[in-house]
Structures are given as structure tokens and as C-alpha cells.
Chain A
Amino acid sequence: MKENTTLVQVSTRSQSFGFFRAMSAVVWKDLAAELRGRELISAMLVFALLVILIFNFALELDAETRSTVTSGVLWVTFAFAGTLGLNRSMAMEKDRGCLDGLLLAPVDRSAIYFGKAIGNLIFMLIVEMIVLPVYSLLYNTNLFNPGLLLVILLGSIGYVAVGTLLSSMAVQTRTRDVLLPILLFPVAIPVFIAAVRASTGFLQGIDMAEIQPWLSLLITYDVVFTAVAFMVFDYVVEE
């Protein structure tokens, strides 16, 4: 009896160890490819700066307008740049048949999902961490607010959790390039609303009690959709 339980313990431990190893291998693969090629982050970054530039003229971002629309501009920029990255990161797997190789590997499929999601999250956060100081510099405002950084982290997690799942569906369709934003944006609306409100709250120094519900909403979204994506990812990559 006792031997049995230790056996079970050992096997579950090695299983979870294998899961983390597989996951970090996928993350590492993405990071190494990015370090050598630098196509994803540079494309996202240039695109993000272009979006901000367009907003500058579209909205006439003078000092007065800026205080109210900054978080909106930031989140639209992040969302657009994020879609670009999500699409590219999955298309890369699909193009050279890498996805099939990954799926042949004798590891848990959800390890692949979490690996890709964490990779996408890292890319998105890097872009965001470059956009923030550039925006602060260009418009002479200070965006280094720990609250804002927390909102960006929570919002990006939710966005990437759904985005990774949907992009792995989108790349397997005929209309792959246009499909991801159409699939992702309507589902990610709660993230945008909550993230924009919470960011504005932190930037304008609004009372914490009023920001709290938005943070709770973001956390709820992150938990629910990470769990669902984890459950259904198998069906998305099944052949």
C-alpha cells in the first residue's frame, strides 16, 4: 500500500516535471528564434510606434486631450501590435511544418499551449515596456506608475491567453490573415474596457476603491479564459 502511494507520487512528480520541461523548451525555442531573427519584436515595435504616430494626428494629442485619452491610445496600440505578434508567432509554426513536429513530440499538448502563450506574453510585454517610455518621452508625461504596470500585466495575460488559442485556430483556416482580429476582438472586449478604465484610474490618481472592480474583472477574465483555453486546446491542434 505504502509502496503504491510513493510510486504514484513519483510518477506524478516526474509528470509535472516533464510538463514544465516541455513548456520551458517551447518558450526557450521561441525566445532563441527571436534572438537570432528579431523579426517578431521589431515588427510589433515599429507597428506600435506607427499607430501612436497616427493617433497623434487623428486625435491631436495636445496636453488637455492627452490626460483623458492616453490609456485608450495605449491599449489600442497594444491590441493591434499584439494581434500582429500572435498571428506571426503561429504562422511561423505552421509555415515550416514546425507545429506538426511539436505535436509529434510525446508531451502534453497543454504544455505546448502554455509554452506558446508564455512566449507571446513575453514578446508583448517587451514591446509594451519599450512603448511606455517612448510615449512618456514624446508626450512629456510620466507613465511609470506601478498600478499601470500591474494593469498592463493583467490585461496582456488575458489577451494572450485567448489570443494564443484563437491564433492557432486562425492559422489553420483559408482566411488566416484577416481572421484573427475578427475572432479575437469581440471576445476580448471585456479586457479592453477593464484595462482602459483601470489604466485611466491609475494615471489620474483616482481612489483605489473605484479601480478595484476593474482589477477584479481583469483577474476573473484571466483565470476563466486561461482555464478554458487549457481545456479546449487539444481539440484545436488535433489532426
Chain B
Amino acid sequence: MESAKPRLLTILDIVTIVMLVIATWMVFLYAPMEAVMGNVQRVFYFHVAAGWVGMLGFLVAAIAGIAYLRTGRRDWDITSLSAVEIGMVFAFINVVTGSIWARPIWNTWWTWDPRLTTATIMLLIYAAYLLLRQGIEDPDRRARFGAVYVIIGFLSVPLTFFSARLFRTIHPVVIGTNQPGAEGAFDMTTVMLQTFLFALLTFTFIFADLLWHRIRLGKLADQVEQKKLKVMA
């Protein structure tokens, strides 16, 4: 039975919050304004970092899914679900910040660029994952099906990206927004690179911190469930 919050987790909380404050300061005050795009370019630092955490979450979920199928330990199922939930939030942040940037730079909120298409389909896959889990009462079966779907979903993502890209290269769009590097590309200065890397690191810490919290929550919920069953029996 674990109940007390581990000391290390508290330390990680504090470190993460401090890092987030520093990263925010770096993004708004330390990094220089980009010459062509102006201030809107600053969204880039957290945009890429959120996308990275989204992908990391789905990768962790798939690995935890494989581990669950091999070992059958409940902890892996909780890890997998937690990683998907966190990954979805950050993938969504990634899409929203991308739209904010795209409006002035590409002159549209949305375009069917391969990356954007893949991000959308990825979110739909994990929404389907949550719906699947919702429809199953037996926790053992829910864990097994969840693991199977999270593996299948993760495998299909690179194929989706590849086919979406091929779709565009064979059928080019006249407006030059179909290549991510084409519109709104820029060279990073050293200070920008520092800010960017620090934002990546910060978001990785946020991911680790949230994942730890969420797994702890999942385990505690499990314990409550078991105690409830014991009382009812």
C-alpha cells in the first residue's frame, strides 16, 4: 500500500515548475524577435516541445502496451493509459499553437499538410482508444484490448504520415503551403537554439512529472476499487 507522496516526486514538481518559469522567460524575453515573422514566431518553442511530448507519450504508451501483453502486470496498463492521456493533451496543444502560428504566416488556420493530417488522425486514433476502454467493464479485458489497440495505432502513424506526404508530392498544391519548410522557415540564432532546447527539456520534465502523478493516481484508484469490493463482499 502506498499512500504518502514520495519525496522525489515533490522535488520533481518544484524543479519542473521552476524550469517552466525559466522557459517562459526565455521564450518571451531572452530569445530575440524573429526578423521576418515577428513575435508570433515565439509560439514555435512551445509548439515543437508540445509535439515532442505528444509523440513521446504515444511511444511510451505503445511500449507499455507491449510490456503489458508480455507480463500481464496491471502497472503497465495504468502506464499506457496515463501516457495516452498526457500525449493527447500535448498533441492538442501542438495543433492549437500551430494554428495560431499558421494564421498570420500561412494565411490560414488549417491546411492539409502531411504533418497536420497525421496529427489529426493520431488524435482520432487515441480518442478511439479511450472510447474502446470506456466500452469494456472487465478491467483485465480492458487492459488487453487497450494494449492491442495502442500497438496497432502506433504502427499505423508512420504509414499515415508517409502516405499523406506521398499524396502531396505526387499531387502538388499550387499554393506553396504544402511543404512545411517552404513557408515560414527561418534560421535559428544561438540564443534561439538555446531557448528551443531548453523548452524541449522543460516539456520532457513536465511529461515525466505528469506521468508519475497520473500513474500514482491510477494505482490509488485501483486500491480504492479493491477496498470497495472487499467491503461489499
Which residues of A approach B to under 8 Å, CB–CB? 162, 165-166, 169, 172-176, 179, 182-183, 186-190, 193-194, 197, 210, 213-214, 217, 220-221, 224-225, 228-229, 232, 235-236, 238
Cα A197 to Cα B166 in complex, Å, equals 10
B167 close to A186 (CB less than 8 A): no
Cα A221 to Cα B160 in complex, Å, equals 10
Q: Which of B139-186 contact A (CB under 8 A)?
A: 141, 144-145, 147-149, 151-153, 155-156, 159-160, 162-164, 166-167, 170
A236 close to B131 (CB less than 8 A): no
Cα A229 to Cα B128 in complex, Å, equals 18
A187 close to B152 (CB less than 8 A): yes
A235 close to B147 (CB less than 8 A): yes
List 8 A-B pairs, minimum CB-CB distance, nearest first: A173-B135, A190-B159, A175-B135, A193-B163, A186-B124, A186-B125, A190-B163, A174-B135
B148 close to A236 (CB less than 8 A): yes
Cα A166 to Cα B125 in complex, Å, equals 13
Given the known interface contacts A179-B135, A183-B149, A189-B121, the answer about A194 and B141 at a Cβ–Cβ threshold of 8 Å is: no
B136 at the interface (CB under 8 A from A): yes
Cα A217 to Cα B148 in complex, Å, equals 23
B18 at the interface (CB under 8 A from A): no
Given the known interface contacts A174-B136, A175-B135, A235-B144, the answer about A228 and B151 at a Cβ–Cβ threshold of 8 Å is: yes
Which residues of B approach A to under 8 Å, CB–CB? 69, 121, 124-125, 128, 131-132, 134-137, 141, 144-145, 147-149, 151-153, 155-156, 159-160, 162-164, 166-167, 170
Residue of B nearest to A232 (CB): B148
CB distance from B67 to the nearest CB of A (A): 13
Given the known interface contacts A213-B166, A217-B166, A235-B148, the answer about A225 and B155 at a Cβ–Cβ threshold of 8 Å is: yes
CB distance from B147 to the nearest CB of A (A): 7
Given the known interface contacts A186-B124, A186-B125, A217-B166, the answer about A173 and B152 at a Cβ–Cβ threshold of 8 Å is: no
CB distance from A117 to the nearest CB of B (A): 15
Cα A10 to Cα B112 in complex, Å, equals 56
B128 close to A182 (CB less than 8 A): yes
B163 close to A217 (CB less than 8 A): yes
A228 close to B152 (CB less than 8 A): yes
Given the known interface contacts A169-B145, A224-B155, A235-B144, the answer about A189 and B135 at a Cβ–Cβ threshold of 8 Å is: no
Q: Which residues does chain B contribute within 8 Å of A194, judged by CB atoms?
A: 163
B131 close to A175 (CB less than 8 A): yes
Q: Could you jot down 30 A-B contacts, CB within 8 Å?
A: A172-B141, A173-B132, A173-B135, A173-B145, A174-B137, A175-B134, A175-B135, A179-B132, A183-B149, A186-B121, A186-B125, A187-B125, A187-B152, A188-B156, A189-B121, A189-B160, A190-B156, A193-B163, A197-B166, A197-B170, A210-B170, A213-B166, A217-B162, A225-B152, A228-B152, A229-B152, A232-B148, A236-B144, A236-B145, A236-B148
Q: Which residues does chain A contribute within 8 Å of B134, judged by CB atoms?
A: 175
B156 close to A232 (CB less than 8 A): no
Residue of B nearest to A235 (CB): B144
Residue of B nearest to A239 (CB): B141
Q: Which residues does chain A contribute within 8 Å of B149, judged by CB atoms?
A: 166, 169, 183
Given the known interface contacts A228-B151, A232-B148, A232-B151, the answer about A187 and B167 at a Cβ–Cβ threshold of 8 Å is: no
